[in-house]
Amino acid sequence: MPITYTAFKGSPSGTIQEETVCHRDLQHDEVLVRITHSGVCGTDEHTRHTHRTLGHEGVGVIEKVGSEVVGFAPVGIGYVRGGCGACKECRLGYNFYCVTKPNNYGFDKGDEDVATWASHAVLPTIRLAKIPDAIPSEYAGPLMCAGQTVWLPFARTDIRPWHTVGILGIGGLGHLAIQFASKMGCNVVVFSGSESKRAEAKKLGANKFYTAEDLEKEDMPKGFVDHLLVTTSQMPDWKVYHSVLANRAYIYPLTISTDDFKMNQFSMIQKEITVRVLCASTIVQVNEMLGFAARHEIRPIIEEFPMTLEGINEAMGKLAAGKMRYRGVLKV
Ligand SMILES: [Zn+2]
Ligand SMILES: [Zn+2]
């Protein structure tokens, strides 16, 4: 029996439309998830010009399981939605790079009607995360994209508690990165364009806070940031930020940009700077991130909107205007 549900889809003009979707019945390894919450992310802004169901920071409960599935609930849905399970990348856990059956929101073709701005989603269990009881669903949603994105440097590199971690930008990603770095025990330094975010940054765990004007001052400390997590939608002027980087520093661009990465090569050689780009986490790493967030009470700061056309348009407008504090969450 086909499954019908309501979905919010993009269109070439960018207008978001509510549609009834008819999806084939469950395969043996799939589940039907009733969505309860979904975050709103900058990637949705990129995807709204395609005729696909939108959303990739979802939380829901399993309503129906395929013949070979043992259910668990509630579940988290991120931007990696599947994979063949058999190729080398899938066996390593990096389903994002699946060779034969990639299924990533905003990157590959795949099930175009499967996303989280919808009443339901049909998904294989291979990439479903288990949401800890301690994290309410409205807070778990943003952890499924923003959370797992800022977790990447901690999960996959050699950041140590005694290192200085710089966070560039306080938005949907940055406000979570500050909390993770702080709870990891790192010395957390926040760089922001806005003085108005100083108090919030300190509350989230920042040890130091610098504005763009501070960077130009004579007494601005130099050469002290071991790892710089870039969470702004655009890359900064690297001539300005080069001075704060330590020798052998790492830069992690964490947002999606189609711009070129521009840094003078000689200045990179002077300090042996490494640009480390990370995109894919394993589902084990996602579950570890959720467990860490649960234990350390790391929560996104959210603004809730109803999951209706009006609610979605209001949330997307606020996000585009740079006024979201700090992550929009759609509630069914
Ligand atoms: Zn996202
Ligand atoms: Zn695969």
Distance 283 CA to ligand 2 centre (A): 14
Distance 287 CA to ligand 1 centre (A): 17
| Matching CATH number, 147-275, of 1.10.3720.10, 3.40.50.720, 3.30.565.10, 3.40.50.10420 | 3.40.50.720
Distance 144 CA to ligand 1 centre (A): 8
Distance 180 CA to ligand 1 centre (A): 18
Name the percent of the chain lying above pLDDT 70.
98
Distance 37 CA to ligand 1 centre (A): 14
Distance 282 CA to ligand 2 centre (A): 12
- Which residue type sits at 130? K
Condensed to tens digits (0 to 9), the pLDDT of residues 221-277 reads: 999 999 999 999 889 999 999 999 999 999 999 998 888 999 999 999 999 999 999
Q: Is the pLDDT of residue 69 over 80?
A: no
Q: Is 5 helix (H, G, I), strand (E, B) or coil?
A: strand
For residue 127, the model assigns a pLDDT of 92
For residue 304, the model assigns a pLDDT of 98
Average pLDDT value for the chain = 94
For residue 259, the model assigns a pLDDT of 87
Tokens 């655009």 found at: 234
Q: Is 318 helix (H, G, I), strand (E, B) or coil?
A: helix
What is the number of the ligand closest to the CA of 57?
Answer: 1
Domain boundary assignment for the chain: 3-144+301-331, 147-275
CB 39 within 8 A of CB 329: yes
Average pLDDT for residues 320-325, to the nearest whole number? Answer: 93
For residue 290, the model assigns a pLDDT of 98
Average pLDDT for residues 183-204, to the nearest whole number? Answer: 96
Q: Is the pLDDT of residue 67 over 90?
A: no
Q: Which residues are bridge partners to 66 per DSSP? A: none
For residue 70, the model assigns a pLDDT of 66
CA-nearest of 187, 173, 185, 203 to 292 is 185
Distance 220 CA to ligand 2 centre (A): 48
Q: Is 33 helix (H, G, I), strand (E, B) or coil?
A: strand
Q: Is the pLDDT of residue 109 over 80?
A: no
SS (H, E, C) 166-231: EEECCCCCHHHHHHHHHHCCCEEEEEECCHHHHHHHHHHCCCEEEEHHHHCCCCCCCCCEEEEEEC
Give the tokens for residue 144.
Answer: 């499924």
Give the class (CATH, top level) of 3-144+301-331.
alpha beta
Which letter does DSSP use for residue 118 in this model? B
What is the number of the ligand closest to the CA of 95?
Answer: 2
CB 331 within 8 A of CB 306: yes
Alpha helix (H) ranges present in 217-308?
238-241, 265-271, 283-295
CB 105 within 8 A of CB 39: no
What is the rounded CA–CA span in Å between residue 315 and residue 321? Answer: 10
> For residue 266, what are the CA distances in angstroms to 2, 150, 247, 250, 270?
59, 29, 13, 16, 6
Distance 280 CA to ligand 2 centre (A): 13
Which ipTM value was assigned to this complex?
0.94
Q: How confident is the model at residue 46 (pLDDT cuts 50, 70, 90)?
A: confident
What is the number of the ligand closest to the CA of 103?
Answer: 2
What is the number of the ligand closest to the CA of 87?
Answer: 2
Same fold for the domain at 3-144+301-331 and the one at 147-275? Answer: no
For residue 3, the model assigns a pLDDT of 93
Contacts of 116 (CB under 8 A, 6+ apart): 35, 38, 54, 55, 56, 57, 58, 60, 77, 141
Condensed to tens digits (0 to 9), the pLDDT of residues 129-180 reads: 999 999 999 999 999 999 999 999 999 999 999 999 999 999 999 999 999 9
- Which residue type sits at 206? A
Distance 140 CA to ligand 1 centre (A): 13
Give backbone dihedrals phi and psi of 236, rounded to 5 degrees, phi first: -80, 175
Strands (E), the chain: 3-9, 17-23, 30-40, 58-65, 75-77, 120-124, 129-130, 164-168, 187-192, 208-211, 225-230, 245-253, 274-275, 302-306, 327-331
What is the rounded CA–CA span in Å between residue 63 and residue 222? Answer: 55
What is the rounded CA–CA span in Å between residue 231 and residue 175? Answer: 9
What is the number of the ligand closest to the CA of 101?
Answer: 2
CA trace torsion 164, 94, 39, 149 (10° rounding): 10
What is the rounded CA–CA span in Å between residue 199 and residue 220? Answer: 20
What is the number of the ligand closest to the CA of 45?
Answer: 1
For residue 226, the model assigns a pLDDT of 98
Condensed to tens digits (0 to 9), the pLDDT of residues 94-108 reads: 999 999 999 999 877
Q: Is the pLDDT of residue 72 over 70?
A: no
